[in-house]
Amino acid sequence: MYQPGDELRYVDWKIVGRNDRLYVKQFEEETNLRAMVVCDASRSMAWTGAPDTVLPKLAYAQRLIAALSLVLLRQRDATGLITFDDDVRSVLPPRARLSHWRQLIGTLAALEAGRGTAAEPALQRVVGQLRRRGLVVFVSDLLLDRPITMKALRFLRHRGHQVLVLHVMDPAEVTLAGPAEARFEDPETRAAVVLRPRDWAGAYRDVVRSVVGEWRLGCRRHGIAYHRVTTDTPYGMVLREALAPSSRAV
């Protein structure tokens, strides 16, 4: 039924002629999806708690994005890539050709960890790359300014994009361990804390759980899909969860 404010060009005049009722035409878009993957390449992403057994977060993210983009491209969805650290590092516009995957892989392969983290410029660049509604996949360890990042994500959502946040965490970031007493230093900011991991493991676990909860809640509140991914999780499992319709529809 027509509601005040609906555009008059979408009124179905034929039905008006037949039964004198105002109906508005609705169209289902059947064009292919345009997706933009935003990858965090800050220094914190280059870290792993167990170099012999677990990939660094950035390496894990590279492989995950490669797999994801292949899936999207095979569906003939145009897929692009933006990488960033404390600034935008590279922008690969979305293309639907399968051969575009090679460029995408090449960009990912050349990606090295940068310095700090600033996601907002990268997320703003997405707007220029996705003129129509599309899918934004944000892959990051989320060790960044949450209010600013959330604001940027909300803006994308406001523009009608589906937004999927993949929160990449190393297992060693989930459970605090280490020597009897250690000076823990942030590789990006050089901020340091001296403490005994055994004393603080429980409280740290609570804080991590709380932080993840806040991200999840904040994303859900604005219709943003959120998945926490640890780097020891098989890629297939992550993709299945992340690309499930229920997940993207959040």
Which residues make up the interface to other proteins (CB under 8 A)? 43-44, 47, 141, 143, 170, 173, 176, 178-189, 191-195, 198-204, 206-208, 211
CB of 118 to other proteins, least distance (A): 15
Residue 30 structure tokens: 């059947």
CB of 41 to other proteins, least distance (A): 13
* DSSP H or E segment with residue 215: helix 197-221
CB 111 within 8 A of CB 62: yes
Q: Which is nearer to other proteins, 13 or 184 (CB)?
A: 184
Q: Which is nearer to other proteins, 180 or 249 (CB)?
A: 180
Q: Which is nearer to other proteins, 15 or 172 (CB)?
A: 172
CB of 164 to other proteins, least distance (A): 22
Q: Which is nearer to other proteins, 77 or 188 (CB)?
A: 188
CB of 183 to other proteins, least distance (A): 5
CB of 246 to other proteins, least distance (A): 30
Q: Which is nearer to other proteins, 129 or 231 (CB)?
A: 231
CB 169 within 8 A of CB 228: yes
Question: Cα angle vertex 104, ends 248, 52, to 5°?
Answer: 85
Which residues make Cβ contacts (< 8 Å) with residue 122, sequence separation at least 6?
Answer: 38, 82, 83, 84, 88
The number of helix segments (H) and strand segments (E) in the chain equals 9, 8
Pairing status of strand 225-230 against strand 162-169: parallel
Tell me how far apart the alpha carbons of residues 166 and 179 are, in angstroms, rounded to a whole number. 30
